[in-house]
Amino acid sequence: MNYTEGKGWHDARVVPFENLSLSPAAMVFHYGQEMFEGLKAYKGEDGRARLFRPEMNAKRTNASNERLCIPKIPEEDFVEAVRTVVSVDKDWIPTEKGTSLYIRPFIIATDAFLGVAPSKTYMFIIILSPSGAYYESGLAPVGIWIEDEYVRAVRGGMGFAKTGGNYAASLIAQVKAHDDGYSQVLWLDGVERKYIEEVGAMNIFFKIDGKIVTPMLNGSILPGITRNSVITLCKEWGYEVEERKVSVDELLEAQKSGKLEECFGTGTAAVISPVGKLRYKDDVMVISGGEIGPVSARIYDEITGIQGGTKEDKLGWITFVD
Ligand code: PMP
């Protein structure tokens, strides 16, 4: 689909996967005016294709667009566009447990103009790719590196938006963490470098003294759709859920006193990533004895069950694509 000032979004079409033709002066290349989303289509045992809460991706698209001066897309048009491309390619949705069709909608600024200003033309594109099971041999705990040198986002910045610049800013810390044997980076707030924000591509949860705790949305954290689903489920199951500031000091203290019972990341890619080890400077916190905690396992079963059609969709989270 294209956008032209004065004409709005127009020319929605499905075309075979092909290279784009863009001017080397296209604004997206120089000033990063772009946004993207990520969601998945799943095929249940009944053979029907399912999307998980795509209307939330539509809402988040427009939140990103607003921050980036990209024109908004009507939410129903976003969902319809996703349904249409998935419907065309639904035979490509793999069926083995844990597999899916990854859907990547994105918008780029296409004006060939070297001045810094919002573009007047855009392209909205959706590409698809079959995705293997995140955990080939069941849920496995990861080690996480709490980054104390670089920050990803600051208050008033773009942290809540899904835009490439946020990920470009994160690469250097990711390389550092990988070199040290950790698979993910956990970011701290950009002001005091004291409060936990989120992981590279996941939100983060802790179970502290029986309560489920997650950093509150403060403008510099991506409002994860899995995060929202986990909060909803945990409340339904009777857990006390707190969205609030969580400092590294609180975690260190809780771990020393045996109250840091579980930690897990949440995101579309893995659904749940149990965390067995958290490193902060010279401290390494081992959580749940480095094993998978019961809350992580229960949420994983519930959400993947709803996505795969083996658990009842009580909350209306599934959109079918026929
Ligand atoms: N934070 C960041 C920075 C992410 O890239 C993602 C993945 N989209 C998430 C959190 C989790 O969001 P969701 O649950 O919507 O996938």
Task: Return the CATH number at 279.
Answer: 3.20.10.10
Residue 135: pLDDT over 80: no
Q: What is residue 243's predicted lDDT score, i.e. its pLDDT?
A: 98
pLDDT in tens, 11-61: 999 999 999 999 999 999 999 999 999 999 999 888 999 999 999 999 999
Per-residue tokens: 113: 């103009």
Q: Do residue 17 and residue 118 come from a single domain?
A: yes
Complete DSSP assignment for 170-220: THHHHHHHHHTT-SEEEEEPTTTS-BEEEETTBEEEEEETTEEEEEPP-SS
Q: Do residue 272 and residue 229 come from a single domain?
A: yes
Q: Do residue 111 and residue 222 come from a single domain?
A: no
Beta strand pairing call for 203-208 and 196-199: unpaired
Q: Residue 221 Cα, ligand 1 centroid: separation in angstroms?
A: 9
pLDDT in tens, 87-99: 999 998 998 888 9
Q: Do residue 193 and residue 302 come from a single domain?
A: yes
Residue 139: pLDDT over 90: no
Residue 137: pLDDT over 70: no
**CA 134 from centroid of its chain's CA atoms:** 14
The CB of 131 under 6 Å from ligand 1? The reply is no
pTM over 0.95: yes
State the closest ligand 1 atom to the C-alpha of 152, by its place in the atom list counted from 1. Answer: 3
Answer whether residue 35 is part of any domain: yes
Q: Do residue 119 and residue 189 come from a single domain?
A: no
Q: For residue 321, what pLDDT band results from cuts at 50, 70 and 90?
A: very high
Q: Which residue has the tokens 């690469």?
A: 171
Q: What is residue 5's predicted lDDT score, i.e. its pLDDT?
A: 96
Phi, psi of 320 (to 5 degrees): -80, 150
Question: Which residue's alpha carbon is nearest to atom 6 within ligand 1?
Answer: 201
State the closest ligand 1 atom to the C-alpha of 37, by its place in the atom list counted from 1. Answer: 8
Average pLDDT over residues 158-168: 97
Total Cβ atoms within 10 A of residue 174: 19
Average pLDDT over residues 275-299: 92
- The number of distinct structural domains making up the chain is 2
Task: Return the CATH number at 67.
Answer: 3.30.470.10
Residue 289: pLDDT over 90: no
Question: Which residue's alpha carbon is nearest to atom 9 within ligand 1?
Answer: 202
ipTM: 0.99
Calculate the alpha carbon distances from 110 to 48, 67, 77, 132 in Å. Answer: 36, 18, 21, 33
Give me the percent of the chain exceeding a pLDDT of 70: 99
The whole domain housing 98 covers 2-131
